[in-house]
Structure 1
Amino acid sequence: MLTATQLYNAVTRTGSNFASSVATEPAVKQQTNYFLANIGSVTSAKQLVNNSKLYNYVMNAFGLGDELNAKALITKVLEGGTGSGSFAASLNDPRYSALAAAFNFNENGTATTQSETTQQTTVSNFYEQTVENNVGQQNQGAQMALYFKRMASQITSPYSILGDQTLLKVFETAFNLPTTFSLGNVDTEAKTVGQLLDISKLQDPTYLQKFIERFTASYDAQNPMGGNSSPPTVAMLVSQPSISQSLLLSIANLKLGGS
């Protein structure tokens, strides 16, 4: 089994190839075709939430598959817009902010779902979620590293990390913090996060890469046998469409020096 460092490097080096392979998987292709054919006719947040196929696709695309039953909350997120005073922002979880930004019914009204950018962003996210899920079958550390990399652009404060259990686990592991870290005063925890990690620099690819390297190295040291227990916010992805076994084998056989 590859280490988290090896698998993360292999996937990020050839990520576009994996995304392309995911797109051709029958289950993924079927769900994506349905989404693209029907999402443009949705004119409100409530209509989106009440269409189970579209709703499930969107929720899983934004990493919210564990909140499928929270329809009232999601409706409020979709109708609340974006910005520091929005309902999505108050949840201190970058997944909700990303969803609200993509499906901003507050600002764009009935034309929200007709945006090509919104549609393509959702599809791209769905592919990435599927790749991450299947990478997690090989090594959960690599999956968490990919998730942090993808969510980095949505991390705006220490509270963004504290509000997402997977991001928090990555942070705790990178700095060898005890699991009891998140049980203290939230403002004290936020101060610690800000002292150890420069949130503003996460938009810098070099800084972000160094942090992820720190995490995967620490994860590998703590989990010499691969540590394949599911992190909290990605466990729900098990039900996602899977990549074929041949693709999983190709990931496992990649070498750091090339394929």
Structure 2
Amino acid sequence: MISLTGLNTRMGLQLVDATRDRQIEMIRDGAQDKRAIAAFEERIGEVQSVEQLMEDRELYVFVMKAFDLEDQIFGKAMVRKILESDASKPDALVNRLTDPRFREMHKVMGFSKEGDANENTGDVAWRAQMVERYVGQRFESAQAEQNEKVGTVLEFRRKAGEVRSWFDILKDKDLSEFMRTALGVPASAAGLDIDKQVELFKQKFDLEKLKDPAEREKLERTYVAISDAKAGVQSSANAALSLMNAAVNAGAGGRFAPITLDISAITALPRRTY
């Protein structure tokens, strides 16, 4: 992967956008991912039941990674129940979970209500889409591991077009953080009742605007600018603290070393926006 070390969100996104095709190619050609893709393409067509998927660890891990559920790989019993859930029943496990990743996996995988049949796995087009999903998620995850804010923007780009209500946003940790930041909603709002949060966001932004690419780009620019400004304040505060600690430590030995702090330089915010 291309390193984002030392870059702010704006510069990180610029680098990611400029190297995306190259990084995608690197993922496809990487030894581990190349083996995983080949195994999926070779064996998924034989999978008809949830049980068969669970028994093939390589295929199971591939599917979990494709839906950004790598952190849930060891919860096989729960994943099995989710995939076997009857989504038409309000009390089904898949409908009781707040994490949208599980519902997306259940929907796309498309096992029967009993979990013993699947019409998707034999579909060449579906398999190709799953490989694209896997590669795209691996790319996105790699960026997020290096720069959390860059990862959040990439997730917003991927999911924004599918948003139908504020509940879709609020049930998604990263999307809700993105919108709170971009719209200037305090983080403490996350502690409010969800209906009150919805009313608050409705006053700030008309969700219909998300259908407009220009509006999505505007939100992205605002999110990036605010995130980098906050990061600049934090960096300045850390620099000031380090200098003051140095002064204290110097005096601890009986010799005081005067240090002059240029407060305006320390607290100045970046003037350039994304």
Tell me the TM-score normalized by structure 2.
0.71
Residue matched to 1:164: 172
Among 89, 107, 111, the alignment partner of 2:119 is 111
Query: 8 Å contact 1:92–1:163 — kept in the other structure?
Result: yes
For 1:125 and 1:84, locate their aligned partners in 2 and report how far apart those are by CA, in whole Å: 28
Residue matched to 1:133: 141
For 2:19 and 2:150, locate their aligned partners in 1 and report how far apart those are by CA, in whole Å: 14
Residue matched to 1:96: 102
Query: 8 Å contact 2:112–2:118 — kept in the other structure?
Result: no
For 1:98 and 1:115, locate their aligned partners in 2 and report how far apart those are by CA, in whole Å: 19
Once the two structures are superposed, the pairs formed by residues 187-202 of structure 1 within 5 Å of their partners are 187-202=195-210
Among 24, 28, 37, the alignment partner of 1:32 is 37
For 2:88 and 2:218, locate their aligned partners in 1 and report how far apart those are by CA, in whole Å: 29
Change beyond 3 A, Cα 1:50–1:165: farther
For 1:37 and 1:17, locate their aligned partners in 2 and report how far apart those are by CA, in whole Å: 25
Q: 3-state DSSP class of the match of 1:223?
A: helix
1:75 Cα deviation after fit:
3.1
Which sections of structure 1, spanning at least 5 residues, go unmatched? 228-259
One-letter code aligned to 1:8: L
Query: 8 Å contact 2:109–2:120 — kept in the other structure?
Result: yes
Deviates more, 1:31-40 or 1:114-123: 114-123
One-letter code aligned to 1:218: I
Q: 3-state DSSP class of the match of 2:121?
A: helix
Query: 8 Å contact 1:94–1:154 — kept in the other structure?
Result: no
For 1:215 and 1:79, locate their aligned partners in 2 and report how far apart those are by CA, in whole Å: 39
For 2:11 and 2:57, locate their aligned partners in 1 and report how far apart those are by CA, in whole Å: 38
Change beyond 3 A, Cα 1:37–1:140: same
One-letter code aligned to 1:209: E
For 1:217 and 1:47, locate their aligned partners in 2 and report how far apart those are by CA, in whole Å: 48
Residue matched to 1:178: 186
| More relative contact order, 1 or 2 (CA 8 Å, 6+ apart) | 1
Q: 3-state DSSP class of the match of 1:28?
A: helix
Among 124, 127, 139, the alignment partner of 2:132 is 124
Change beyond 3 A, Cα 1:83–1:200: farther
1:83 Cα deviation after fit:
7.8
1:32 Cα deviation after fit:
1.2
Deviates more, 1:150-159 or 1:210-219: 150-159
1:226 Cα deviation after fit:
9.6
For 2:233 and 2:53, locate their aligned partners in 1 and report how far apart those are by CA, in whole Å: 43
Once the two structures are superposed, the pairs formed by residues 164-243 of structure 1 within 5 Å of their partners are 164-224=172-232
1:76 Cα deviation after fit:
4.0
Residue matched to 1:230: none
1:43 Cα deviation after fit:
0.4
Q: 3-state DSSP class of the match of 1:29?
A: helix
Query: 8 Å contact 1:81–1:100 — kept in the other structure?
Result: no
Among 4, 7, 10, the alignment partner of 1:2 is 7
Once the two structures are superposed, the pairs formed by residues 53-64 of structure 1 within 5 Å of their partners are 53-64=58-69
Query: 8 Å contact 2:169–2:176 — kept in the other structure?
Result: yes
1:65 Cα deviation after fit:
1.8
1:62 Cα deviation after fit:
0.8
One-letter code aligned to 1:32: I
1:130 Cα deviation after fit:
2.0
For 1:38 and 1:136, locate their aligned partners in 2 and report how far apart those are by CA, in whole Å: 30
Deviates more, 1:108-117 or 1:82-91: 82-91
Q: 3-state DSSP class of the match of 2:48?
A: coil
Among 74, 78, 81, the alignment partner of 2:83 is 78
Query: 8 Å contact 2:110–2:118 — kept in the other structure?
Result: no
Change beyond 3 A, Cα 1:215–1:98: same
CA RMSD of superposed structures (Å): 2.9
Query: 8 Å contact 2:110–2:119 — kept in the other structure?
Result: no
One-letter code aligned to 1:55: Y
1:68 Cα deviation after fit:
2.2
